Chain A
Amino acid sequence: MIATAHDIAAAVRSRQCRVEDIVEATLARIAASDRQINAFTTVTAERARARAKVLDDRMLSGEDLGPLAGVPFAVKNLFDIAGLPTIAGSRISVGNAPASADATAIRRLEAAGAILVGALNMDEYASGFTTENSHYGPTRNPHDLGRMSGGSSGGAGAAVAAGMVPLTLGSDTNGSIRVPSALCGVFGLKPTYGRLSRAGTQLFSESLDHIGPLGRTVADVALAYDAMQGSDTADPVLAARPMEPALPLIEAGIADLRLAIGSGYFGRRADRTALDVATFAAKSLNVEEEVDLPGAERGWAASLVVTLIEGSSVHLSRLRTRPQDFDPMTRDRFLAGALAPAELYLKAQRERRNFREKALRVFERIDILITPAVPFEAPPIGCNRLEVAGEILDPRGMLGLFTQPVSFIGLPAVTVPIRTSDVLPRAVQLVAKPWNEQGLLRVARALEKLGVAAARIKDG
């Protein structure tokens, strides 16, 4: 199996291998690995084989298939796949009519030559950080099958980390790309709010939802990110931005970027290793300045309020008609959100605005902030009590401690897995001002080139 999306595309475009062979190898790998991991809820084998044949024929006729030629990918099962119901990790939505078209993101990756091979497990309606899905079972961490994969895009993180596919798509409301990327040891990009079209995805929280890629390398994530950019009238919050490709810039170095390591909010309530890994990454880039984001703690609290109230609104009709078919924990959270006073939502939105203004002032002085991605390593499946830095915490909520304030104010961020001697992966989060995904990926690539960062793939 060829390792990266970049390598696969290069091999296909230079006619070193056929797309049909890549697809068969991928399907075999999924069949062999997923019995243990439980990352996939659907494998679209027939569709993938049919498309592989078409791509091979086009290749033979001399056509350039694009930058993702022949690259297999899979998507969190909240992305619409034509002909299938979009289940979003739920039992309720299994009865939905099949999607009439693919989500915009899928169409754009396929237009760049990629091949969809399946849909991936997630927390029900994206509400969670663990992918301990009560309907479809937990997605297991490839590096320790007794541990969580993270969530809510747990299938997306685990499928890459288990070597089943080189590339996946997830969504991120409060950390749902970055948390599983960190726990599974892969790269995961959450772009700026409004950068990539969410059209054709099941929304969780309208003002917080993002989509983005997870992959083995910075170049792979950049390839997918670049392929998904562009206008789309079907997503009303998509910003009118020019295409800003990141891949051509990732080797540009970081000499002109001002970096800092997170302190204050980002320097406590985490285990020693999480903090040490962030310090190690910063030192490897000669970063000494420490910076906090003032208001992050209140932003974290307020993000929870906005998430639950907006989430409850999305699911109100289901809460009326089929409350018993939700996972009980999801149902109780959404119902509480539906019943909360409006003033609570307004207070949280005011807090959001205040926090954002303060954070943007910080990003006038720096370009990239380095923080731990999550406060601790992947907890055991079923764990609801963990001692961290002298505190007893519920890991199911605390996994989003460092990611949640960042997405609350729409900042772009990337999870970068850091090499350690530990069995379980560790990672840092890089955060930038809005629209500076290029800067994020340049720093991620610098860490990768230094050998400090690398995805942890469970091959064989």
Chain B
Amino acid sequence: MRGTMKQEATNSGEGNLSDETIDRIMYGAAAFLELHLPSEFTPGIRENLRALLRVGATLNKAGDTPASFVEIAPVFRA
């Protein structure tokens, strides 16, 4: 288990998470949000979530200055 976690930690930087890790994120958040995920939905959700996490891994590489939350608030004005 410890080995698995270490592997995941390494891979997560590149967004290459195992199905098991994706599912833990998926079901953990679903429980909090009170979302029911029938088994027939999970392949599609997993694929989309993996894509999102991969995109996220490419964002904000070293050198970027993090913005404060106010500056990046969802209600965005052009």
Contact = CB atoms under 8 A, between A and B. Distances in A.
Nearest to A316: B33
A362 to B, nearest CB: 15
Contact of A335 (B45, B59, B72): B45
Interface residues of B, number: 36
B3 interface: no
Contact of B67 (A319, A324, A353): A353
B59 to A, nearest CB: 4
A44 B38 CA distance: 39
Given A192-B78, A350-B60, A332 B52 contact: no
A310 interface: yes
Main secondary structure of the interface of A (DSSP, over half): helix
A348 B56 CA distance: 7
B76 A410 contact: yes
Contacts of B48: 308, 332-333, 335-337
A403 to B, nearest CB: 15
A301 B67 CA distance: 18
Interface of A: 192-194, 206-208, 236-237, 239, 298, 301-302, 304-305, 308, 310, 316, 319-320, 323-324, 328-329, 331-333, 335-341, 343-344, 346-354, 409-411, 434
Given A316-B33, A353-B71, A340 B49 contact: yes
B64 interface: yes
B77 A335 contact: no
B59 A332 contact: no
Contacts of A305: 52, 55-56, 59
A194 B77 CA distance: 7
Given A298-B58, A335-B45, 8 more contacts: A194-B78, A301-B58, A323-B36, A336-B45, A349-B73, A350-B64, A410-B76, A411-B78
14 contacts: A194-B78, A207-B76, A237-B77, A320-B33, A320-B34, A335-B48, A338-B33, A339-B25, A339-B35, A346-B69, A349-B76, A350-B72, A352-B76, A409-B78
Given A323-B41, A351-B59, A193 B78 contact: yes
A338 B48 CA distance: 11
Contact of A239 (B33, B55, B77): B77
Contacts of A350: 59-60, 64, 66-67, 72
